[in-house]
Structure formats: C-alpha cells, structure tokens
Chains A and B, each alone.
Chain A
Amino acid sequence: MGRIIKPVIVVVILLLVLAIPALAVVARSYILAPVAQPAKAQPIAFPHSIHVNVVGLDCTFCHRGATTQADSTVPALQLCMGCHAIIPTTDRPQLEKLVNAFNSGTPINWTRVHQLPDHVHFVHAMHINAGFNCATCHGDVASMAPGAVVQVRDLRMGDCITCHRENNAPTDCSTCHY
C-alpha cells in the first residue's frame, strides 16, 4: 500500500504544479476578468437612473467629448451646478457633497470604472459616429444602483477584435496600439 501512495502523491503534486498556468488563465478569464469585479467605491453615489430615466438627459449631455473626441470626459462641477444650484440639498447627503465641493472649489476624484492600458488608444468619437450606442459597451448604466456603475463588457483585446471583425472595422495593430 505504502509503495503505491508515494508515487501517487508525487504525480498529484506534479500535476498540481503543471496546472498552475492553466489555473492562471482560468483565473484571468473568470475571477479576475473586468466584468467580474465588484462595483468600485465612489466619492459620491451618483444616480445615473434619476438623470436618465427621471430627468431624461442624454448621455452626451454630461459626457460631452464622446461625440467629437477620444475621451468621453466627465463634466465639470459647474455643469452639475447648472441644475443643482436650484435643487434643495436638505436630507440629501450625496447632493450636499457636490454642493460643498463646488463651494469650496475642490475637484471630485471619481474612481475609474473602465480603464484601458496606456498602450491602447480608444477613440469614443469614431464609435459613436459609426452608429453605436453607449450601451453597446457600457450596458444599461441607467439601471445600475447609485454609485455602483460596473463594467459589463469584457473590453479586452479579444472582445475589441471580435466586434471590429463583425463590423468590418480595421483590425490593424496600429489602429489602437502606438
């Protein structure tokens, strides 16, 4: 009996060691994938739902760069205050944070939800002008809980390339990498 156990243990250990790369790949695809990440903490629990569903704003009302340039951009507090100057903040602690930040002249540092590596150059304008909706990549942001926007699409190279191929968009490396 003991003579069999020894080689079996060795083989099992060897298999475990050899499985590490495979495990790493699996982990990268599932556990560590961008879409598997929990919602990130934000300085203000911003409710996209109210702004889109109740007020009826278009995404590009605030994310003004999306139609014309690479970055979609987050708005300056001045833009928020265009409306919020007349909206009472009583019993609305999140709103109070905004007004305080504006009055004290402190910029708000949001946590980035979608972050591409430095060697990837994504241009919002090209995609919006090709007729894609924001939701194609960002999902239904309006239905996400306040301050809990998550990444719903993989947005790694395989995802990009697949979509580019389906839509006959350039797949040359230099399109995105330089």
Chain B
Amino acid sequence: MAQAVAHRWGMTIDLDLCTGCQACVVSCQAENNIPINTEENFQQRRAIEWIRVERYWEGEFPNVKARYIPVPCMMCENAPCEPVCPVYASYHTDQGLNFQVYNRCIGTRYCSVNCHWHVRFFNFWEPKWPDSLKQQLNPLVAVRSRGVMEKCSFCIQRIDHAEQSAKLQGRDVKDGDFTTACAQACPTRAIVFGDLNNADSEVAKTVASTKRGYQLLADLGTNPAVVYLKKIDADPLPEDSKHKYFDSSQYTRAKETVAVG
C-alpha cells in the first residue's frame, strides 16, 4: 500500500468548463520540451501529447453532441505502470507522484502497455529541433532521447522549484505558490492543480464539496489523483438518440466512466 505523503498533488478538471481550446496542450509542449509532432508522427499514431483533449460523440446529426475531455497522467496511487517496469524506471516518488526516471529507462514499453489511460509515450526517434528552435527549450527539463518512455510529470520542475523556494524561506509550500503549465494557461479555469492533503487548497475543497466528481476508470482501483467533474447537460438529447454510437471502427470509442461519491 502507498505510504502517507506530505503532499498529494492532484488536479480537478471541470468538464463543464472545458471548451476544448487546447491552450493546455501547447502550454505543456512549451514547458516540457516535447518534440514537435510531425504529420508522420500522427499518421503512425506516435504523437506525444502529455495532456491531450479527446473528443467523444453522442448521437448523430441533427441530434448530436460532442464532448471534450482533457487527459493528462492520472498519477494513480496504485499505478499499474509501476510494477511492470523491470528496471524501476517507472516508480512512485516520496511525494506520491507516479514518475518516470528517464536515465533508468531501457525502453521495454511494458508500462505503456499496462497504462489504461494511454498517457505514456515512447520516443521512437531522437527528438529533433532546428537549431534556432532549440533556443526555446526549457533548461529545467531534460530532453528525452530515443528509446525512452516519457509522460506527464505534473510539472515536477515547478513542484521542486516551489518546494525549494519555500524551504529557503523557512516555510511549507502554500496553495497557489505554483501551478502546472496546463492549469496556468487554461482560460476557463477548468483545470485546477493543488495539494489534495491540504484541506484549504482549492482542489481539496472542490473534491470535498462537488457532487459531480468522478475518476476515470475508477473501478480499476488505482485511485487516480485527477478528479473530473462531470459535464452538466441542461438540455439533454432525446432519449432515443442519446446512446447512439457509430459502429465504424474509425471513431474513437468512449471509455466508460464511473461516478464516485
């Protein structure tokens, strides 16, 4: 079982506020030195997006709705990706984060197979940037080389920096000292990041008070640190068209979601 941790970093994503604008996606790519996803990357289904915005269909024209759901790493408390790593590159930090040690990784990709949320990405190629674009790379984040798995780190460089600054000032990290790149960019404040163990933090308050909260694939029992708030459907589609699917295999099918609390 997971040990008690000082901070349990977590995130709430309010799907009622998410507009699918994807500012979070670019913000994450800028912060974390994610290689440019070329057309070929997408065609080979090897694009790297630590946070991605998935779109799901409900119904068909004219009774149709599209839903957005941003998916970062869930930072499971009992993560399925961890026990399968033969070299302990995917492991649980003292902070309760599910973390990838790049310099340990030997690229077996077992972790990616075992991740039900598909938020682990493999570097099939050496990441390349034209020389001028290298000026933009964030010096606080290592560039992952070929053959290494990578994933959302909850902006560990920001966590570390905030904790160190707080320590130098002789205090503990406060809510609002820092946030992740995706949460910082989000125009509607759909993504909120904070310490779930701190009862005064915004995320903890939201998780405690909301009636719409659920975790993605919660029945697997991994206890993700990302809590979604359901979208409110004020004008639902007519019952007969609501659960209509496409049988075409081309469409992304939905993951099931289970409410908690």
Residues of A within 8 A of B (CB): 68, 117-119, 121, 123, 125-126, 129, 170, 172-175, 177-178
Across the two chains, which residue of chain B brings its CB closest to A119?
B142
Q: Which of A121, A126, A170, A178 contacts B94 (CB 8 A)?
A: A170
Q: How many B residues touch the partner, as a band?
A: 20 to 34
A99 to B194 alpha-carbon distance, docked (Å): 51
Q: What's the least CB distance linking A23 to chain B, in Å?
A: 23
Q: Are B93 and A121 closer than 8 Å at their CB atoms?
A: no
Residues of B within 8 A of A (CB): 91, 93-95, 97, 99, 101-104, 140-143, 153, 156-157, 160, 164, 167-168
Across the two chains, which residue of chain B brings its CB closest to A71?
B139
Interface residues of chain B: helix, strand, loop or mixed (majority): loop
Q: Are B143 and A121 closer than 8 Å at their CB atoms?
A: no
Q: What's the least CB distance linking B126 to chain A, in Å?
A: 14
Q: Are B160 and A121 closer than 8 Å at their CB atoms?
A: yes
Across the two chains, which residue of chain B brings its CB closest to A157?
B103
Q: Are A123 and B156 closer than 8 Å at their CB atoms?
A: no
A178 to B144 alpha-carbon distance, docked (Å): 10
Residues of A within 8 A of B140 (CB): 121
A177 to B93 alpha-carbon distance, docked (Å): 11
A126 to B143 alpha-carbon distance, docked (Å): 24
Residues of A within 8 A of B91 (CB): 173
The winner among A117, A125, A174, A175 for most chain B CB atoms within 10 A is A174
Q: Are A177 and B101 closer than 8 Å at their CB atoms?
A: yes
Residues of A within 8 A of B102 (CB): 119, 177
Q: Are A125 and B141 closer than 8 Å at their CB atoms?
A: no
